[in-house]
Amino acid sequence: MAGHLFRYGVSGLGSTLLDLAVVYGLLTLKMAANPAVSLGFVTGLLANFLLHRSYTFRHRAAVSWGQVLRYGMIVAINYLLTLLIVNLTLHFDANAVFLGKLLSIPLVTANAFLLTRKYVFDRERASMQ
């Protein structure tokens, strides 16, 4: 598990920096908060899946529809958590989109690691499919 956790951190950091860069760039271009956060989230999501599949969990089995569906459900949960935290932050400061995004990262990261490890890239689950 320690190896997974370290690789998860490395992969997650890269995906998070990409996500934040997209959000920052889009906000600089005056895009509204929710679309900017959404596009950053999707960009980070794609990078995240590819990195976690190949590097973090070293999952070698073929991608299954069940795996994609489970990953998608975890993403939906984390997307809603991200928007909730960003919008709660905006309730207190109308200019704090980026702060809200930063505040969402610890919760979304922990949730994603635990659920992804157990339900998406679990080797026992893959061997049963």
Split at pLDDT 50, 70, 90, the class of 123 is low
> What does the pLDDT read at residue 124?
57
Share of the chain above pLDDT 70, in %: 94
Task: Tally Cβ neighbours within 10 Å of residue 119.
Answer: 15
Range of the domain at 75: 2-128
Task: State pLDDT tens for residues 12-57.
Answer: 899 989 999 999 999 999 999 999 999 998 899 888 888 888 888 8
Instruction: Extract the tokens encoding 22.
Output: 């997209």
Average pLDDT score over the chain = 88
> With b meaning 16 or more CB within 10 Å and e meaning fewer, what string describes 27-54?
beeeeebeebbbbbbebbbebbbebbbe
pTM value is: 0.69
Name the domain count of the chain. Answer: 1
